Amino acid sequence: MSPFRSETLDLPDVRLHIRRWGRADAPTLFLLHGWMDVSASFQFLIDELQRDWNIIAPDWRGFGPSQWLGRPYYFAEHIGDMEAILDHYAPEGQVRLVGHSMGGILSCLYAGIRPERVKSVVTLDGFGIAPTTPEMAPERYRAWLCQIRQPPRMHVYPDRQGFAKRLMKTDRFLTAERADFLSRHLAIIGEGENKAGERRHGVVWNGDPWHKYFSPYLFRLEESEAIWRQIRCPVLWVAGRDSWVVRDFASRPGDWERRQACFAHLTETWIENADHMLHHDQPADCARLIEEWFKV
């Protein structure tokens, strides 16, 4: 298993944990994890890389060892953190970005907001969330008012073995060995609630419970599309053949193609026998595609 080292990056309002692999003098590659994930879960992918890389993988605010703020989080805050991370570790030149899920969404948005800063992007099952309509706003605000009446709690598991079983239940391609590794990074000992809503001490997700609360503001696909049209660099869309994300897009005919049409230089590829966590399910295939994409 490739060894990593930990660093911290102090920003004005948060302290971020940065996990690093490889040699500092090798080409730099940023790996950006998804929602309710941590940077450590890239370990399987990193172990399959054949080239030397200077890998920089942050834990987003409120996840893993990064600072938890104990209040609602807003998506744009991650974009601000991303720019601070890039400015710190790659102040000059263009960057290579690989993001999974939320990390892929952030990578594509940043590539359109700061097109001069990004050399190339790989997004692993991160293509943007489902569109909304203005008519959804009243119910959205009503639901938001209800949820903020009390602090959120994570579901509690009796032990790490139970947590690992939960991971394998939702991802049929995840091996027991990888699930055990993830249970030591995706979970911590803390307080949560059981299915009956009772407070219990045990194993909980390694993320601030406030991430469970959704924003009162609707996602506006048109804004993302306008940003994607500003991207100058090549972008690789990598989809898991058995991913729930792909099934979700299939329920909205034309949405997949509409989003892709916003990118000037887009390549689509698929990984077989993989669900949404394709870097857990088929890390060798992910590593191969990434290194082929960045070989120039």
Give 80-116 pLDDT, tens digit per residue: 999 999 999 999 999 999 999 999 999 999 999 999 9
* Domain termination site, one of 197, 212, 227: 212
* Number of domains the chain contains: 2
Residues 39 and 64: beta-carbon distance below 8 Å: yes
161 and 39, same structural domain? no
113 and 48, same structural domain? yes
192 and 73, same structural domain? no
Q: How far apart are alpha carbons 156 and 224 in whole angstroms?
A: 35
pLDDT of residue 196: 73
Residues of the chain with pLDDT below 70 are 296
177 and 59, same structural domain? no
Within 10 angstroms of residue 175's Cβ, the number of other Cβ atoms is 13
DSSP 230: T
Q: How far apart are alpha carbons 263 and 233 in whole angstroms?
A: 9
List strands edge to edge, sheet with 118-124.
Answer: 4-10, 15-22, 54-59, 28-32, 95-100, 118-124, 235-240, 266-271
Three-state DSSP state, 170? helix
93 and 162, same structural domain? no
Question: What percent helix, strand, coil does the chain show, rounded to 5?
Answer: 40, 25, 40
93 and 153, same structural domain? no
167 and 204, same structural domain? yes
* Domain termination site, one of 187, 212, 237: 212
222 and 114, same structural domain? yes
* CATH code for the domain of 16: 3.40.50.1820
Torsion of CA 182, 156, 147, 151, to 10 degrees: -100
Residues 237 and 266: beta-carbon distance below 8 Å: yes
* Domain termination site, one of 171, 191, 212: 212
pLDDT of residue 150: 86
183 and 150, same structural domain? yes
Q: How far apart are alpha carbons 120 and 267 in whole angstroms?
A: 12
234 and 189, same structural domain? no
Query: Domain range holding 164?
Result: 136-212
222 and 202, same structural domain? no
Amino acid at 87: D
Residues 186 and 34: beta-carbon distance below 8 Å: no
Q: How far apart are alpha carbons 185 and 20 in whole angstroms?
A: 15
145 and 33, same structural domain? no
Residues 73 and 81: beta-carbon distance below 8 Å: no
Residues 6+ apart with CB under 8 A from 120: 96, 97, 233, 234, 235, 236, 293, 294
As a residue count, the chain comes to 296
